Every structure is written in structure tokens, then in C-alpha cells.
């Protein structure tokens, strides 16, 4: 009997469309309304769990999903103990430190100690500034990060940037890069051992479809 595999994918956001296209290229099509959280597919051994991209590592870590696809930035923020099986390459961007253009900083290490940093990635941001020896106050925000310096809420932001156009449009400049991100295929460690054949078969299909 073929073992069932549940794969978690984003239900919205920049990675949703390319991931759905990847699944379809691998011959995996969801049945019914794609707004349903847990969907059957045309392959009876595979189900798709559609949840927030930020929650995918949590679902995979706890074994609700066997594998998942989400950004490296999100995986790094959660710091959960997972297997990373592949860098799928798409959805490339960088997690950067940015300040207003008028500020006298040319590097993140020059930001004044005690400054407020606005970000959706508080854990990564805290570790980064600790590592460079600058004590800062982290302000966790969800979206519209670029307005925070202009309104005086924060001295700098840590946010994702693909081309730098959004930073430029909002009068910001990059003064540091924390990490480069792209879509990653992750796996629950127990599932990798107990469902090794099924997991490897699906991973191989996805890699071949992504080639």
C-alpha cells in the first residue's frame, strides 16, 4: 500500500503561484476549491495543505505535513529542526537592513546603539544585530514596513527586497544584507525516516519538474 504524503504550500503571497505551477508540472493537481485548507489531488497518495507561508515550518515540524515549500527567510526565522531537501531557486530575494537616504549610515554596524528596528523577522534581526555588536530594540510589524522610518517609529527596517525598487520608492537605502532567500523544500525528520520511499519519490518528481 502506498503511503500518503501531505505537502504544505502557501495559500497566498508571492510564492503561491510558482509553487502551484511546480506541482502541476510534476503532475499534481488539487481537486475542488483551492480555498480548502486540506485538499485531495489527482494522485491518491498526495494531499495538499494550504496555509500561511509563515506557518509551513510549524506544520512540517509537528508532522501535520510531511514536507513543505516556503521561503528560506521564514525557515530561518522559526529556527525549527527540519531537513532542507532542495533549493528550488524561484522566489529569490534578500533580507536587508534599510534606512532613510538622509541618514549618515553606510553599513548596519554604524546604526546607533539603542535604535528601534522594525521588521517581520524579529528573531533573525535580533541575532544579526547581536552578532555585529549593536544593541537595538526590535519592533515587530506585519507589512508596510517602509513607512516606519518616515513616521519616526524606527531608525531602520529589516525587510525582504527583490530589486530594491520598493526601498527606492519610499526614500530608503540598503545598508546591509542579512541573508538571501528562495523557495526551499523542507521535510519532517520523522517522516523522512518512516516514509522515506514516498518522500524521495515526491521530491524527485518536484526536482525533475523544476529542472
**Cβ-count burial 20-43 (b if 16+ within 10 Å, e if not):** bebbeebebebeeeeeeeebebeb
Domain 5-91+182-210 class? Answer: alpha beta
**Whole-angstrom distance between the N-terminal and C-terminal Cα of the chain?**
29
pLDDT digits (tens, 9 = 90+) for 82-124: 999 999 999 999 999 999 999 999 999 999 999 999 999 999 9
Tell me, what's the pLDDT at 36? 72
Tell the burial category of 91 from Cβ atoms under 10 Å away from its Cβ (0-12, 13-18, 19+).
buried
Which fold, 93-180? D-Maltodextrin-Binding Protein; domain 2 (3.40.190)
Q: Contact at 8 Å (CB) between 198 and 3?
A: yes
Q: Which residues of the chain have pLDDT under 50?
A: none
Domain boundaries, the chain: 5-91+182-210, 93-180
pTM beyond 0.85, yes or no: yes
Rounded distance between C-alpha atoms, residue 48 and residue 38, angstroms: 6
Q: Show the beta-strand stretches assigned E in 81-154.
A: 83-87, 93-100, 116-119, 137-140
Tell me, what's the pLDDT at 208? 95
The bridge status of strand 137-140 relative to strand 116-119 is parallel
- Per CATH, 5-91+182-210 and 93-180 having the same topology is answered yes
Amino acid at each position: 500500500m502506498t503511503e500518503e504524503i501531505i505537502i504544505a504550500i502557501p495559500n497566498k503571497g508571492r510564492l503561491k503561484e510558482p509553487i502551484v505551477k511546480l506541482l502541476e508540472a510534476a503532475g499534481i493537481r488539487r481537486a475542488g476549491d483551492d480555498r480548502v485548507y486540506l485538499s485531495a489531488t489527482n494522485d491518491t497518495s498526495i494531499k495538499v495543505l494550504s496555509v500561511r507561508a509563515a506557518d509551513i515550518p510549524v506544520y512540517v515540524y509537528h508532522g501535520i505535513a510531511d514536507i513543505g515549500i516556503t521561503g528560506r527567510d521564514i525557515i530561518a526565522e522559526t529556527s525549527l529542526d527540519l531537513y532542507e531537501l532542495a533549493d528550488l531557486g524561484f522566489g529569490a530575494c534578500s533580507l536587508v537592513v534599510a534606512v532613510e537616504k538622509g541618514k549618515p549610515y553606510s553599513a548596519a554596524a554604524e546604526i546607533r546603539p539603542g535604535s528601534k528596528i522594525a521588521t517581520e523577522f524579529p528573531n533573525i534581526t535580533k541575532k544579526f544585530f547581536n552578532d555585529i555588536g549593536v544593541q537595538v530594540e526590535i519592533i515587530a510589524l506585519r507589512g508596510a514596513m517602509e513607512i516606519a522610518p518616515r513616521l519616526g517609529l524606527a531608525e531602520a527596517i529589516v525587510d525582504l527586497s527583490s530589486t530594491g525598487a520598493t526601498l527606492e520608492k519610499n526614500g530608503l537605502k540598503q545598508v546591509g544584507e542579512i541573508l538571501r532567500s528562495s523557495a526551499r523544500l523542507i521535510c519532517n525528520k520523522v517522516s523522512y525516516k518512516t516514509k522515506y520511499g514516498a518522500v524521495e519519490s515526491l521530491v524527485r518528481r518536484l526536482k525533475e519538474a523544476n529542472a
